[in-house]
Amino acid sequence: MANRYDDNVSILLNEGVGECQSSGDPCEPLGLVCDEANDECEGCVSDADCDDGLFCTGVETCVLGTCQSSGDPCEPLGLVCDEANDECEGCISDADCDDAVDCTDDACISNVCVSTPNDADCPDDGVFCNGPEICDASLGCVSSGDPCTDQGLVCDEANDACRACLADAECDDGEYCNGAETCTDGSCVDGADPCLDQACDEDRRSCFDAECSADADCGDGDVCTTDACAHQRCQNTPIPGCKDTDQDGFADADDDCPNTSSGAEVDRKGCSCDQLDDDDGVNNCDDECAGTPEAAEPDAHGCSCHQLDADGDGVDNCEDACPGTPAGQPVDETGCADSQLDSDGDGLFNPDDRCPGTAAGETVDAQGCSFAQGDDDQDRVLNLRDLCPDTSPGVPVDSDGCAHSQVDRDGDGVFDAFDQCLDTPAGERVDAQGCSAGQRGLADLEAGALAPGAGTGAGSRGGGGSCGLLGLIPLAFTGLGLTALRNLGRRRR
């Protein structure tokens, strides 16, 4: 008996009857719906059952066994919900926009905070040579810098004034990489780049060959370092706690296959093809057919017969009844070309079978034809209808397959081709030319022209007809005068 969750996990035995009984739906008493697929009750009992842990969906409550959300808490305020920080982005009043920078004027404009630097909020520090104080939107009040530099002059703090320089030392700004400044005609002149085609290291006050111009230039192939370009030098800083045991470019924490062979190409989960298998028992490196169905039986290359078409005829091997179809030949739905079929089952393939409709069980010749389908004398009349099966090649025949030389229509024993009297009455004796005495006339009869062994007119074909023992008709007839013989001849005509 199959157990079902919605029949309850408690299966009771009725000892008196010996039958299993169910205690019933475990979810119904709670007012919930049973979910058999996940073995759980769907719905809620209290508000706590409904909390999805998300800020932007609002507060969830349980109403009649169904969880309901109050919705986006920010939308009614005209703001945008920020799930990452559990807050509403935007503002309602200027007070919402305080950026903690004293010198900026903060305002809420169309639900967007705008902070505008105000130099007037920065008090003078009383130092002339660092320039007027100004408001930086991020740093607050800062000095604007030496007011005399742009003029090529030297700042005189004692007199709160700018004056001409007297020596190179007064023009030195303390920076190495912009070159040595000089005093020329009372004005400070910027120096030349001390490194020319090299990079300049201000901290080391030296020149060097640049290693990089961007962070991307500093990749060391180690996923456990942070790669950065600082002052045209690469810095590869180890990430604390990070390991890449198999050195495949994926940290162990993110690597689905932590034991990848050295140098092997891996996918985005850190796995090489020899570590993967689509459940057909052949690793993906050797698997020539990805995605083999689970129930299929793959070969050594990981391919099921449904994934293969050995003869390239467009019918997969499972369905192909003729797996060796020659290239380029059209096939039917079973994968068979006409050259592979024997439609009448006589042992010859269709292209070689001169008689494709042979009846089942009939013996055939080398051309696939049964006797009834054959034409042994090749007179274009099938054996079954050929009354003269031995006609010589090339001789014209009639619809019965007989040549003129094979027909004796009056059955007198002389074939029509040689019969000078084609309509001899049945039973009359004839001569070698197929004529009876009555057909020849008395003169011929008296001359003894009747042929010995001639027929008696029975009507035959194909060399048939009865010869009989005709003998020669004697010139003198006992008890029969010539007149009577003439009359007999006239009557037979």
Phi/psi class of residue 470: alpha, beta or left (left: φ > 0; alpha: ψ in -120 to 50)? Answer: alpha
Mean pLDDT of 452-460: 46
Task: Please name the residues in contact with 126: beta carbons below 8 A apart, sequence gap of 6 or more.
Answer: none
Average pLDDT over residues 340-357: 84
Q: How far apart are CA 367 and CA 201, in angstroms?
A: 97
Distance of CA 63 to the CA centre of its chain: 49
- pLDDT score of 276: 85
Which residue has better confidence, 14 or 274?
274
Task: Tell me the pLDDT tens digit for each residue of 422-437.
Answer: 889 988 999 989 899 8
Long-range pairs for 364-367: beta carbons < 8 A, 24 or more residues apart: none
- What's the chain's average pLDDT? 82
DSSP 239: P
Quote the CA–CA distance of 448 and 474 in Å, as a whole number. Answer: 7
Q: What is the pLDDT of residue 15?
A: 47
d(C-alpha 296, C-alpha 281), whole Å: 11
DSSP class of residue 337?
-
- Choose between 100 and 471: higher pLDDT: 100
Give the lowest-confidence range in 12-26, 259-273, 392-406: 12-26
Per-residue pLDDT tens digits for 106-125: 999 988 899 999 999 999 99
Structure confidence at residue 116 (pLDDT): 96
- Residue keyed to tokens 């009857």: 17
The average pLDDT across 189-208 equals 91
Which of the four pLDDT bands, split at 50, 70 and 90, describes residue 444? low
Query: In this predicted model, what pLDDT tens digit does every residue of 45-91 receive, in sequence order?
Result: 889 889 989 999 999 999 988 899 999 999 888 788 989 889 888 88
Q: What is the residue extent of each domain of the chain?
A: 5-42, 47-89, 324-374, 402-493
pTM assigned to the model = 0.33
* Contact predicate 28/8, CB 8 Å: no
Interatomic CA distance for residues 107 and 97, integer angstroms: 6
